[in-house]
């Protein structure tokens, strides 16, 4: 996939950057909530902690939903993960690697599921692609050697979280922003 921003309007770039920075701040807040929530989920079944992962996909999903141009998910996820790394998080700058991989996976999801209408199914599919990549990377980076059962539950949970939590939050945020009239420039 190759991306060029030459077809983007100035307003596309500005809005993408603003939404991505806001997503990065949401990532930082979610990072703080993640620890107590993950402890509760870990007690249920090993691997269920990845059900929390979808929030870290909204940088790409939200920007792609609003801007709707090739490269929007990647740009959104990279800016959001950069903000998270700069402000500070428990994973350091490794989030940039994850952000790049997640953004590329979501771009692939948006491209493979070619639909004339952007709807929840399309966003959920892109979120699922991002979740698969996120869950796989996290498994190999943080949980390697825990076994096939854990890996299967973990990656499936991350995939479901991307499709439901990540996509759902992104759609809700776009809906709320649309009601304010701020997205009128984008036909919403």
Model pLDDT, residue 88: 86
Distance CA 82, CA 168 (A): 23
| pLDDT, tens digit (0-9, with 9 covering 90-100), for 139-187 | 999 998 898 999 999 999 999 999 999 999 999 999 999 998 888 877 7
171-188 b/e (C-beta count within 10 Å ≥ 16 → b): bebbeebeeeeebeebeb
Question: For 13-42, how does the pLDDT look when each residue is reduced to its tens digit (9 = 90+)?
Answer: 999 999 999 999 999 999 889 888 888 877
Tell me how far the alpha carbon of residue 17 is from its chain's centroid: 15
- In the chain, where are the structural domains located? 10-182
Name the nearest CA neighbour of 76 among 146, 18, 141, 127.
18
Cβ-based neighbour number of residue 90 at 10 Å: 9
pTM: 0.90
Q: How many Å apart are CA 37 and CA 39, to the nearest integer?
A: 5
pLDDT in tens, 80-135: 999 999 998 888 899 999 999 999 999 999 888 775 566 888 999 999 999 999 99
Q: Are 87 and 106 in contact (CB under 8 A)?
A: no
Sign (positive or negative) of CA dihedral 78, 18, 60, 136:
positive
Q: 3 falls in which pLDDT band (50, 70, 90)?
A: low
């Amino acid at each position: 996939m190759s991306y060029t921003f030459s077809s983007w309007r100035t307003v596309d770039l500005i809005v993408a950057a603003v939404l991505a920075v806001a997503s990065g701040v949401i990532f930082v807040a979610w990072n703080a909530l993640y620890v107590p929530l993950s402890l509760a989920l870990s007690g249920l079944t090993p691997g269920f902690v990845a059900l929390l992962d979808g929030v870290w996909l909204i940088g790409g999903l939200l920007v792609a939903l609003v801007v709707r141009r090739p490269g929007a998910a990647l740009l959104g996820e990279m800016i959001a993960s950069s903000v998270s790394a700069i402000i500070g998080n428990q994973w350091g700058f490794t989030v940039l690697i994850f952000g790049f991989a997640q953004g590329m996976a979501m771009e692939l999801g948006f491209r493979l599921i070619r639909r004339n209408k952007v709807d929840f199914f399309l966003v959920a599919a892109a979120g699922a692609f991002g979740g698969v990549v996120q869950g796989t990377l996290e498994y190999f980076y943080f949980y390697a050697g825990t076994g096939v059962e854990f890996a299967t539950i973990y990656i499936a949970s991350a995939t479901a979280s991307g499709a439901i939590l990540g996509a759902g939050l992104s759609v809700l945020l776009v809906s709320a922003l649309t009601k304010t009239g701020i997205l009128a420039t984008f036909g919403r």
